[in-house]
Structure 1
């Protein structure tokens, strides 16, 4: 997502500065190189040592440190993007009127890269005419302003002025600055999450899939310009990324029907859901009562969605499947690639630490129809999604 991007994070003196610690961590995990500049007041809220450790770069605070001079001009030219988060009312006023009394402001006035700000202040300050005028002036210079949230404020009041959450800032940056539109005009089908096969009104057969991997793929496809239809099994994951239409389903049969309906108009299909292989032959209308004896549940096979799509696939469509294995991983993945008429199979193994259900990371190997095999190190699922979509783009335009 942010691989090899250079981000300059500027932090001002606000209680919301604690969020910048998580923002730093998320940016680094997403592959960005992060350098940080603080106002002296920001040091009262966040530790330079913490930020230096997370960013793996020295934190800059003063224009001069003993006999050393901090080159604000070089710093402003180094970055692909400068992010001021949080932006206080005080620093906003100084930026809007060109004041320069600290290292952060000197860097801002020297920056040749785009600048985006995430304000944080109390509601009355946020709605003050001076603040409104300063924000308009800042935008007139070509800077972008990330909207504030409404919620509990440091004053104890409830209202507008909360700094956007780190995840929302990441999403804003991605959509407004680093989005690659190499899938513009394409339509994609993605499945994610588990399926629940009902035994009775309160019990079901399911699995531990969280839907995180499928959602990350859907969001990466959408950010690159694709119109995405996400067929999502029972999962708590949500998305606010544009270009994604979510179809919520419960059972394997419902997922099958949704996929068969959407697939004919899709250019890309990524089947990442953990679909149940078996479902109860009958579903009790009433809750089954506990008895002294044992309970036998007869199971029947569910429809193989990937195989069904492979049988319908046209030459202009790209079909991607997933394989979660515990043994003979590569052998089974290659067999699945052929048997399902897929173009790519993404293998992950429960034997790999930090991979599989529920984790925020994954470790994959991609098997391709032409015999290609690409193995990746364990990464956050957003970066894994980036790698997968890179291969999809490569095959689409090969």
Structure 2
């Protein structure tokens, strides 16, 4: 009995950590599955088509049918490929796409690891996923896959500079690299209001960073068959597919946290409105029950998570909207747009914003400690 108790105490933190990871990872994978269905239905509606509507109610189970088809599909690997790197590339891409969710604050204190360098960690993790694409394209021993991986690597490295520079301006306002601190700093006003041009630049860089149309030159079907994943099929293709959409969900959540207030939901204002209704309608039930209901920690945490999810869903819809609206551009136009237009604009804002903050003496005290 004592031995069992000691073993349980030793493995208790490990079990808690595994449980936390599962609680975050499983909903993320389910979200990725339904984002694919939402994209197909939304684009079908914009193009006057029906989209998936056979498997499940309103086509909601189409993603699971596609996953089952790919899992049961026979896998054929290229004979001249470097098989170790060929399989390792998609695995690396998927792992580093999912690691970013560990620092996402779904509410006050609701994160797997809420440490002070969350933004730096997320940038580092997103940078490492580039190696998976490069390894997969090079190891396939195919000219289309190799060209796609080179394009993707150059594109991700270029637009990552835009993303990190835009995030630097947000850090100048909040004074911290913590995602929770950045969210709490937007209680007065969301950063999208004073930083609207930076938000637009960040959004353009996000589309390019996730290899989405009209910036999906790494997997341009008309030029490179399917880009860096041309030779991948069956289960390995599922890894790339999940990694791409997991990156979209993560970048939309990051955009919501940095510019749209994250999980912030004004409970005080809602309670005030309820009290006003109670005052005018003389309904004591509203004041005694609904206010208590909203103040419950479990309900409050749920509303925080739903608020962040709703903002992320709006950003995902905008991603789909952009894909359905704009044609694919040439690769040289993509790179010149980054280095000759976006980068000078970001550098100009990096010079302008600190000058404004210093002139009005509103620069955060934490900036001096960075």
Q: Which has the higher contact order (CA 8 A, sep 6+)?
A: 2
One fold, TM greater than 0.5? no
Question: Taking structure 1 as the reference length, what is the TM-score of the superposition?
Answer: 0.21
Which is greater in Rg? 1
More strand by share: 1
Q: Hey, which of these two has a bigger chunk of helix by percent?
A: 2
How does the TM-score come out when normalised to structure 2? 0.22
